[in-house]
Structure 1
Amino acid sequence: MENHPPKCKFTLILLFIISLSLGLISFILCIAAEIKRNKEEDLRWNGKFCYLPTSKAFGLGIATLVSLFFAHIIGNFVLVRNFYSRRKSISQFKMPSIAKILFLISWFSYGIVVILLIAATNMSRRQVYGKGWLNGECYIVKGGTYSASAILIFVTIGSINASAFSTLKSSQEYRDQKIHKLSG
C-alpha cells in the first residue's frame, strides 16, 4: 500500500493547498496593483523636472512578491519532499519527464515574473523632482505589466504544483506495475 503515514500525506496536501492559496493571493494582488498603478494624469511636470507620487501599486507589488515567493518555495518543498520520499521507498523511481519539464517552466516563469514585478514595483515608488526613477526622468509602469505578471504567476504556481502532483501520480502507477509483475 502507501509508504507514507497518513499524517505525512495530510501535511503534503495541506502544503499543496497553501501554495495554491498563496498563488491565488499573488494573482489577486497583481490585478489590484494593475488597477492602482500610476497613470499619466498623476505625473506633474514643472517645465524642467517631473514628479510622480507613490502609488498603491508599490505596496501591492511588494505583497505580491512576498506571497509569490512563499507559494513557490512551498510548491518546491512539496515536490522535493514527495520525490525523495518516493525515491527512498521505490529504489528505481525516477522523476517523470513531464515533472522535469514543468519544474523548469515554473523556475523560468518565476524568474521572469520576479524581474517584471521588481521593476514595476520600483517604478511605483515616489519619483521626486530632479531625481526620477532613472537618470532624473520619471517612468510610469506601462499598462498590462502587472496583468502579464498575474498570468505568469498562474503559470508558475500551476506548473510547480502540477510537477509535484505528477510525481505522486507516477509513483502510484509504478507501484501498481510492480504489484502486477509480482503477482503475474
Structure 2
Amino acid sequence: MKKIRYDMVFSMLLFLALLAFSTCIAAEFKRSKSKDMKSDGKRCSLPGSPAFGLGIAASICLLAAQIIGISIIATQFCSKDEHVCINPRTRIMSITLLLLSWVSFGFAIFLLGVGTSMNKSQMYGYGWLDGECYVVKDGVYIGAALLSLAMVIFILGVTLTTRTRDHQRQEEQGRMQGKEDGR
C-alpha cells in the first residue's frame, strides 16, 4: 500500500482553509446592508447580494477542509504502523483538540448558513422569516472566518499530537539525506 503524502494533503487542507477564510472576508464586505432594504410600510424587500454565493463557496471549502482533516486523523489512528505509546495527557489533549475542531466547524457552518440565507434576494412579503426582512449584522462573516482558521489549527494540533514514531523517524532520515545530497 502506498504511503500517504502528508505534505500534499496538508497543503490542500491549508489551501481550502485560506480560501474559506478569504471568501468569508469578501462576503462580509459584499453582504446586504440596511440601506439596501426597501419598504412600503408593512412589507419589505432586499435585493440579492454577492455574499450569497461567497457564503456558499466558503461553506463548501470549510466542509471539504473538515473532511480532509478528519480523514488525516482517521488514517493516523487506523494505521498499521507502530504507534507511539500515547500517554494519557497527550490523549486528552488530542481528544480536546478534536472536539474543539468540531465545535468551531459547527459554529462556523451555522454562522455561514444563517448569514448566507439572509443575503439571498428577499421579495416583498416573502422575507427571510415570517415575511420580514433581516440583514446580517456586522462581523458575522468575520466570526465564521476566524472559526474556520481555528478549526484548521485544531486539526493540525491533533495530527501533530498523534503522529507515529515511525513517521517521525522517516522524516528525520529524509531531512538528513537531503542535507547530505545538498553538500
Q: Percent identity?
A: 39
User: Is residue 28 of structure 2 the alignment partner of residue 38 of structure 1?
Assistant: no
Measured against aligned partners, the alpha-carbon deviations of 1:58-110 in whole angstroms (never above 9, x if no partner) come to 0000000000000110011111112221xx33267447322111101000111
Aligned letter for 1:142? K
Q: Is the 8 A contact 2:38 2:45 kept in 1?
A: yes
* Separation of aligned partners in 2, 1:78 and 1:107: 14
Other-structure match for 2:3: 8
Matches within 5 A, 1:74-93: 74-85=68-79, 88-90=80-82, 93=85
Aligned residue pairs total 166
Compared CA separation, residues 118 and 83, structure 1 to 2 (3 A)? same
Q: Secondary structure at the match of 1:16?
A: helix
* Separation of aligned partners in 2, 1:21 and 1:166: 22
Other-structure match for 2:174: none
Other-structure match for 2:66: 72
Other-structure match for 1:147: 142
Aligned equivalent of 2:55, options 46, 52, 61: 61
Q: Secondary structure at the match of 2:58?
A: helix
Q: Secondary structure at the match of 1:89?
A: coil
Q: Is the 8 A contact 1:79 1:161 kept in 2?
A: no
Structure 1 runs (4+) greater than 6 angstroms displaced = none
* Separation of aligned partners in 1, 2:46 and 2:85: 56
Unaligned stretches of 5+ in structure 2? Answer: 170-183
Q: Secondary structure at the match of 2:3?
A: helix
* Separation of aligned partners in 1, 2:143 and 2:65: 18
Q: Secondary structure at the match of 2:78?
A: helix
Q: Is the 8 A contact 2:82 2:165 kept in 1?
A: no
RMSD value, Cα: 2.1
Q: Is the 8 A contact 1:38 1:124 kept in 2?
A: yes
Aligned letter for 1:102? L
Aligned equivalent of 1:18, options 12, 25, 30: 12
